[in-house]
Amino acid sequence: MSLFKKKKKSDISKYLDSYKTNKSLAVKITELLGGYTDYHDDIYEELLVLLIEADVGVEASEKMIDQLKILVNERFIRKANDVIDLLIEIMIDNYKDKNILDINQHQNKFIMMVGVNGSGKTTSISKISKFYLNQGLKVGLIAADTFRAGAVEQLKKWAEKLGIHCITGGERVDPAAVIVDGCKYYLENPVDIIIADTAGRLQNKTNLMKELEKMVKVAKRTLKTDDLDIWLTIDATTGQNGLSQAEVFIESSKVNAVVLTKMDGTSKGGIVLSINDKYNLPVKFITYGESMDAIAEFDIENYVNTLIKGEF
Protein backbone atom coordinates (compact mmCIF):
# COMPACT_ATOMS: atom_id res chain seq x y z
CA MET A 1 0.00 0.00 0.00
CA SER A 2 1.33 3.40 -0.93
CA LEU A 3 1.84 5.92 1.80
CA PHE A 4 0.74 8.61 -0.59
CA LYS A 5 -2.91 7.71 -0.77
CA LYS A 6 -4.31 7.00 2.63
CA LYS A 7 -6.84 4.21 2.70
CA LYS A 8 -10.24 4.83 4.17
CA LYS A 9 -9.71 2.19 6.83
CA SER A 10 -6.61 3.79 8.33
CA ASP A 11 -8.35 7.16 8.39
CA ILE A 12 -11.23 5.62 10.26
CA SER A 13 -9.01 4.09 12.90
CA LYS A 14 -7.27 7.43 13.33
CA TYR A 15 -10.58 9.14 13.90
CA LEU A 16 -11.48 6.46 16.36
CA ASP A 17 -8.28 7.02 18.30
CA SER A 18 -8.68 10.77 18.21
CA TYR A 19 -12.19 10.71 19.52
CA LYS A 20 -11.87 7.84 21.94
CA THR A 21 -12.64 10.10 24.88
CA ASN A 22 -16.06 10.53 23.39
CA LYS A 23 -17.04 6.93 23.55
CA SER A 24 -18.61 7.76 26.87
CA LEU A 25 -20.97 10.13 25.08
CA ALA A 26 -22.24 7.29 22.95
CA VAL A 27 -22.70 5.12 26.00
CA LYS A 28 -24.45 7.90 27.88
CA ILE A 29 -26.87 8.56 25.04
CA THR A 30 -27.68 4.90 24.65
CA GLU A 31 -28.24 4.54 28.40
CA LEU A 32 -30.41 7.61 28.46
CA LEU A 33 -32.60 6.55 25.57
CA GLY A 34 -32.41 2.82 26.16
CA GLY A 35 -35.36 2.33 28.44
CA TYR A 36 -37.81 4.53 26.56
CA THR A 37 -40.05 4.38 23.57
CA ASP A 38 -41.82 7.62 24.34
CA TYR A 39 -39.52 10.61 24.28
CA HIS A 40 -40.82 13.31 26.57
CA ASP A 41 -39.29 16.70 27.32
CA ASP A 42 -37.13 15.54 30.25
CA ILE A 43 -35.24 13.17 27.98
CA TYR A 44 -34.58 15.89 25.45
CA GLU A 45 -33.35 18.11 28.28
CA GLU A 46 -30.91 15.42 29.39
CA LEU A 47 -29.79 14.82 25.84
CA LEU A 48 -29.18 18.55 25.51
CA VAL A 49 -27.00 18.52 28.61
CA LEU A 50 -24.98 15.59 27.23
CA LEU A 51 -24.27 17.48 24.01
CA ILE A 52 -23.32 20.67 25.83
CA GLU A 53 -20.99 18.65 28.08
CA ALA A 54 -19.39 17.22 24.96
CA ASP A 55 -18.53 20.77 23.82
CA VAL A 56 -21.10 21.00 21.05
CA GLY A 57 -21.98 24.46 22.38
CA VAL A 58 -25.28 25.67 23.85
CA GLU A 59 -26.78 27.22 20.74
CA ALA A 60 -25.82 24.43 18.37
CA SER A 61 -27.05 21.79 20.85
CA GLU A 62 -30.38 23.54 21.33
CA LYS A 63 -30.88 23.85 17.60
CA MET A 64 -30.15 20.18 17.02
CA ILE A 65 -32.34 18.94 19.86
CA ASP A 66 -35.22 21.10 18.61
CA GLN A 67 -34.85 19.58 15.15
CA LEU A 68 -34.61 16.12 16.68
CA LYS A 69 -37.83 16.58 18.66
CA ILE A 70 -39.78 17.62 15.58
CA LEU A 71 -38.46 14.80 13.41
CA VAL A 72 -38.94 12.09 16.06
CA ASN A 73 -42.62 13.07 16.19
CA GLU A 74 -43.05 13.48 12.46
CA ARG A 75 -41.48 10.15 11.67
CA PHE A 76 -43.08 8.29 14.61
CA ILE A 77 -39.66 7.14 15.81
CA ARG A 78 -39.78 4.91 18.88
CA LYS A 79 -36.52 2.99 19.09
CA ALA A 80 -33.45 4.46 20.80
CA ASN A 81 -31.19 3.40 17.93
CA ASP A 82 -33.35 5.26 15.45
CA VAL A 83 -33.23 8.39 17.58
CA ILE A 84 -29.44 8.17 17.66
CA ASP A 85 -29.27 7.68 13.88
CA LEU A 86 -31.53 10.68 13.41
CA LEU A 87 -29.35 12.83 15.63
CA ILE A 88 -26.35 11.81 13.54
CA GLU A 89 -28.22 12.68 10.36
CA ILE A 90 -29.15 16.12 11.75
CA MET A 91 -25.56 16.86 12.80
CA ILE A 92 -24.17 15.92 9.38
CA ASP A 93 -26.87 17.83 7.48
CA ASN A 94 -26.40 20.96 9.56
CA TYR A 95 -22.66 20.87 8.95
CA LYS A 96 -23.04 20.36 5.21
CA ASP A 97 -25.72 23.06 4.90
CA LYS A 98 -23.34 25.60 6.32
CA ASN A 99 -20.46 24.75 4.05
CA ILE A 100 -21.33 25.53 0.50
CA LEU A 101 -17.67 25.50 -0.41
CA ASP A 102 -16.36 21.98 -0.08
CA ILE A 103 -13.01 22.77 1.45
CA ASN A 104 -11.65 19.33 0.61
CA GLN A 105 -12.28 19.88 -3.09
CA HIS A 106 -10.83 23.36 -3.04
CA GLN A 107 -7.40 23.73 -4.61
CA ASN A 108 -5.35 26.22 -2.67
CA LYS A 109 -2.31 28.16 -3.77
CA PHE A 110 -1.61 30.33 -0.78
CA ILE A 111 -2.51 29.39 2.78
CA MET A 112 -1.98 31.75 5.68
CA MET A 113 -2.10 30.05 9.05
CA VAL A 114 -3.47 32.21 11.86
CA GLY A 115 -4.34 31.49 15.49
CA VAL A 116 -3.36 32.20 19.07
CA ASN A 117 0.14 31.36 20.28
CA GLY A 118 0.49 27.74 21.20
CA SER A 119 -2.59 26.63 19.26
CA GLY A 120 -0.37 24.66 16.88
CA LYS A 121 0.19 26.85 13.80
CA THR A 122 3.84 26.02 13.17
CA THR A 123 3.50 22.32 13.95
CA SER A 124 0.39 22.04 11.79
CA ILE A 125 2.13 23.79 8.89
CA SER A 126 4.80 21.11 8.88
CA LYS A 127 2.18 18.35 9.01
CA ILE A 128 0.13 19.95 6.24
CA SER A 129 3.29 20.38 4.15
CA LYS A 130 4.03 16.72 4.50
CA PHE A 131 0.44 15.84 3.65
CA TYR A 132 0.67 17.77 0.36
CA LEU A 133 4.20 16.58 -0.38
CA ASN A 134 2.86 13.05 -0.09
CA GLN A 135 0.36 13.92 -2.81
CA GLY A 136 3.21 14.93 -5.07
CA LEU A 137 2.66 18.67 -4.72
CA LYS A 138 5.47 21.18 -4.32
CA VAL A 139 5.23 23.14 -1.11
CA GLY A 140 7.03 26.34 -0.07
CA LEU A 141 6.94 28.01 3.33
CA ILE A 142 7.07 31.61 4.49
CA ALA A 143 8.19 32.31 8.06
CA ALA A 144 6.13 35.42 8.76
CA ASP A 145 5.92 34.98 12.52
CA THR A 146 8.60 37.55 13.07
CA PHE A 147 7.38 38.39 16.52
CA ARG A 148 7.85 35.30 18.63
CA ALA A 149 11.47 34.53 19.45
CA GLY A 150 12.56 31.30 17.83
CA ALA A 151 9.48 30.99 15.60
CA VAL A 152 11.44 31.49 12.38
CA GLU A 153 14.03 28.93 13.44
CA GLN A 154 11.31 26.44 14.38
CA LEU A 155 9.74 26.64 10.92
CA LYS A 156 13.12 26.54 9.18
CA LYS A 157 13.96 23.34 11.02
CA TRP A 158 10.75 21.69 9.88
CA ALA A 159 11.41 22.86 6.31
CA GLU A 160 14.89 21.33 6.39
CA LYS A 161 13.48 18.06 7.67
CA LEU A 162 10.94 18.00 4.87
CA GLY A 163 13.45 19.17 2.28
CA ILE A 164 11.41 22.20 1.25
CA HIS A 165 12.21 25.87 0.89
CA CYS A 166 11.42 28.38 3.61
CA ILE A 167 11.57 32.13 3.00
CA THR A 168 12.60 34.08 6.07
CA GLY A 169 13.22 37.72 6.80
CA GLY A 170 14.76 37.25 10.21
CA GLU A 171 13.10 38.11 13.47
CA ARG A 172 11.55 41.49 14.27
CA VAL A 173 11.05 42.54 10.68
CA ASP A 174 7.76 43.59 9.11
CA PRO A 175 5.92 40.29 8.47
CA ALA A 176 4.17 41.76 5.42
CA ALA A 177 7.59 42.36 3.86
CA VAL A 178 8.44 38.68 4.37
CA ILE A 179 5.14 37.70 2.75
CA VAL A 180 5.97 39.84 -0.29
CA ASP A 181 9.46 38.32 -0.53
CA GLY A 182 8.01 34.84 -0.21
CA CYS A 183 5.26 35.33 -2.78
CA LYS A 184 7.74 36.82 -5.25
CA TYR A 185 10.16 33.96 -4.75
CA TYR A 186 7.49 31.32 -5.26
CA LEU A 187 6.14 33.08 -8.35
CA GLU A 188 9.54 32.66 -9.93
CA ASN A 189 10.06 29.11 -8.72
CA PRO A 190 7.88 26.08 -9.25
CA VAL A 191 5.62 25.64 -6.27
CA ASP A 192 2.02 24.48 -5.97
CA ILE A 193 1.24 25.58 -2.45
CA ILE A 194 2.71 28.34 -0.30
CA ILE A 195 2.04 28.20 3.44
CA ALA A 196 2.75 31.23 5.61
CA ASP A 197 3.26 31.11 9.35
CA THR A 198 2.11 34.17 11.32
CA ALA A 199 2.33 35.59 14.81
CA GLY A 200 -0.53 34.86 17.17
CA ARG A 201 -0.15 37.37 19.94
CA LEU A 202 -3.42 38.59 21.31
CA GLN A 203 -2.13 41.26 23.65
CA ASN A 204 -2.70 43.98 21.09
CA LYS A 205 -5.81 43.17 19.16
CA THR A 206 -5.80 46.25 16.93
CA ASN A 207 -2.21 45.77 15.86
CA LEU A 208 -2.76 42.11 15.20
CA MET A 209 -5.77 42.84 13.01
CA LYS A 210 -3.92 45.51 11.08
CA GLU A 211 -0.95 43.24 10.62
CA LEU A 212 -3.06 40.34 9.34
CA GLU A 213 -5.00 42.60 6.99
CA LYS A 214 -1.78 43.98 5.58
CA MET A 215 -0.34 40.50 5.06
CA VAL A 216 -3.42 39.37 3.17
CA LYS A 217 -3.45 42.56 1.09
CA VAL A 218 0.17 42.26 0.00
CA ALA A 219 -0.15 38.55 -0.71
CA LYS A 220 -3.17 39.21 -2.94
CA ARG A 221 -1.37 42.01 -4.73
CA THR A 222 1.84 40.07 -5.26
CA LEU A 223 0.14 36.85 -6.33
CA LYS A 224 -2.46 38.79 -8.36
CA THR A 225 -5.33 36.77 -6.95
CA ASP A 226 -8.11 37.20 -4.42
CA ASP A 227 -8.35 33.48 -3.90
CA LEU A 228 -6.30 33.03 -0.75
CA ASP A 229 -6.91 30.64 2.09
CA ILE A 230 -6.76 31.75 5.67
CA TRP A 231 -6.88 28.83 8.04
CA LEU A 232 -7.36 29.20 11.76
CA THR A 233 -5.80 26.75 14.19
CA ILE A 234 -7.94 26.03 17.22
CA ASP A 235 -6.62 23.98 20.10
CA ALA A 236 -9.39 21.46 20.72
CA THR A 237 -8.39 21.00 24.36
CA THR A 238 -9.34 24.63 25.11
CA GLY A 239 -12.99 23.97 24.22
CA GLN A 240 -15.41 26.88 24.14
CA ASN A 241 -12.75 29.14 25.60
CA GLY A 242 -10.53 28.48 22.62
CA LEU A 243 -13.39 29.48 20.40
CA SER A 244 -13.85 32.86 22.00
CA GLN A 245 -10.11 33.48 21.80
CA ALA A 246 -10.24 32.66 18.13
CA GLU A 247 -13.01 35.16 17.48
CA VAL A 248 -10.54 38.02 17.01
CA PHE A 249 -9.03 36.20 14.03
CA ILE A 250 -12.40 35.50 12.49
CA GLU A 251 -13.26 39.19 12.86
CA SER A 252 -10.01 40.50 11.47
CA SER A 253 -9.29 38.21 8.58
CA LYS A 254 -11.47 36.26 6.21
CA VAL A 255 -10.81 32.87 7.78
CA ASN A 256 -12.28 30.22 5.50
CA ALA A 257 -11.39 27.00 7.33
CA VAL A 258 -10.29 25.64 10.67
CA VAL A 259 -7.43 23.31 11.53
CA LEU A 260 -8.45 21.65 14.77
CA THR A 261 -5.37 20.67 16.73
CA LYS A 262 -4.60 18.42 19.69
CA MET A 263 -7.55 16.10 19.22
CA ASP A 264 -5.41 13.54 21.04
CA GLY A 265 -5.67 15.61 24.20
CA THR A 266 -8.57 15.96 26.57
CA SER A 267 -10.90 17.34 23.94
CA LYS A 268 -14.53 16.42 24.36
CA GLY A 269 -14.79 16.43 20.61
CA GLY A 270 -18.06 18.24 19.97
CA ILE A 271 -16.23 21.48 19.27
CA VAL A 272 -16.36 20.96 15.49
CA LEU A 273 -20.14 21.34 15.54
CA SER A 274 -19.89 24.40 17.70
CA ILE A 275 -17.32 26.12 15.44
CA ASN A 276 -19.39 25.29 12.43
CA ASP A 277 -22.65 26.53 13.90
CA LYS A 278 -21.20 29.74 15.32
CA TYR A 279 -18.95 30.81 12.49
CA ASN A 280 -20.09 28.86 9.42
CA LEU A 281 -16.57 27.50 9.14
CA PRO A 282 -15.63 24.07 7.87
CA VAL A 283 -12.86 22.05 9.48
CA LYS A 284 -10.14 21.27 6.95
CA PHE A 285 -7.74 19.16 9.00
CA ILE A 286 -7.57 17.66 12.45
CA THR A 287 -4.25 16.93 14.12
CA TYR A 288 -3.86 14.39 16.87
CA GLY A 289 -0.31 14.16 18.14
CA GLU A 290 3.25 15.36 17.98
CA SER A 291 4.29 13.12 15.08
CA MET A 292 4.42 14.60 11.58
CA ASP A 293 1.86 12.10 10.38
CA ALA A 294 -0.67 12.85 13.09
CA ILE A 295 -2.97 14.69 10.71
CA ALA A 296 -6.04 13.80 8.66
CA GLU A 297 -8.41 15.64 6.39
CA PHE A 298 -11.60 16.14 8.29
CA ASP A 299 -14.55 13.97 7.39
CA ILE A 300 -17.85 14.96 8.94
CA GLU A 301 -19.47 11.54 8.57
CA ASN A 302 -16.63 9.71 10.32
CA TYR A 303 -16.50 12.37 12.96
CA VAL A 304 -20.16 12.47 13.91
CA ASN A 305 -20.48 8.69 13.88
CA THR A 306 -17.53 8.37 16.20
CA LEU A 307 -18.69 11.19 18.40
CA ILE A 308 -22.15 9.76 18.91
CA LYS A 309 -21.65 6.04 18.49
CA GLY A 310 -17.96 5.63 19.25
CA GLU A 311 -17.85 3.16 16.36
CA PHE A 312 -18.72 2.65 12.71
Ligand X SMILES: Nc1nc2c(ncn2[C@@H]2O[C@H](COP(=O)(O)OP(=O)(O)O)[C@@H](O)[C@H]2O)c(=O)[nH]1
By the criterion CB under 5 A, which residues form the site for Mg ion? Answer: 121-122, 151
* Cβ atoms 147, 200 nearer than 8 A: no
120 binds, among Mg ion, ligand X, none (CB under 5 to 8 A by kind): ligand X
Binding mask 249-268 toward ligand X (x if CB under 6 A, else -) reads ------------xx-xx---
Q: Which of residues 222-241 bind ligand X (CB under 6 A)?
A: 233
Query: Is 123 an interacting residue with respect to ligand X (CB under 6 A)?
Result: yes
Smallest gap, in angstroms, from Cβ of residue 14 to ligand X?
12
Q: Using CB under 6 A, which of 14, 39, 91, 120 touches ligand X?
A: 120
Q: Tell me: does residue 117 bind ligand X (CB under 6 A).
A: yes
Q: How far apart are CA 128 and CA 292, in angstroms?
A: 9
- Rounded least distance, CB 49 to ligand X, Å: 28
Q: How far is the CB of 213 from Mg ion (least distance, A)?
A: 20
Candidates 1-9, 69-77, 119-127, 165-173: pick the segment binding ligand X (CB under 6 A). Answer: 119-127
Question: What track of x and - describes contact with ligand X for positions 62 through 91 (by CB under 6 A)?
Answer: ------------------------------
Q: Is 118 in the site for ligand X (CB under 6 A)?
A: yes
Q: Is 277 in the site for ligand X (CB under 6 A)?
A: no
Determine, following the binding rule CB under 6 A, whether residue 289 of this chain makes contact with ligand X: yes
Nearer to ligand X, 68 or 116 (CB): 116
Smallest distance, Mg ion to C-beta of residue 155, A: 7
Q: Which C-beta is closer to Mg ion: that of 122 or that of 305?
A: 122
140 binds ligand X (CB under 6 A): no
Our CB check for ligand X shows the closer of 26 and 125 to be: 125
Query: Edge-to-edge strand order for the sheet containing 139-144?
Result: 165-168, 139-144, 193-198, 110-114, 229-235, 257-261, 283-287, 295-297
Strands 295-297 and 165-168 come out as unpaired
Which one of Mg ion, ligand X, none interacts with residue 123, CB within 5 to 8 A by kind?
Answer: ligand X
> DSSP labels for the chain?
--SSS--HHHHHHHHHHHTGGGHHHHHHHHHHHHT-SS--HHHHHHHHHHHHHTT--HHHHHHHHHHHHHHHHHTT--SHHHHHHHHHHHHHHHHHHH--S-GGG---SEEEEE--TTSSHHHHHHHHHHHHHHTT--EEEEEE--SSTTHHHHHHHHHHHHT-EEEE--TTS-HHHHHHHHHHHHHHS--SEEEEEE----S-HHHHHHHHHHHHHHHHHHHT-S--EEEEEEEGGGHHHHHHHHHHHHHHS---EEEEE-TTSS--STHHHHHHHHH---EEEEE-SSSTT-EEE--HHHHHHHHHHS--
Q: What does 115 bind: Mg ion, ligand X, none (CB cut-off 5 to 8 Å by kind)?
A: ligand X
- What number of chain residues touch ligand X (CB under 6 A)? 19
Asked if 121 touches ligand X (CB under 6 A), the answer is yes
Q: Which residues bind ligand X (CB under 6 A)?
A: 115, 117-123, 200, 233, 261-262, 264-265, 287-290, 294
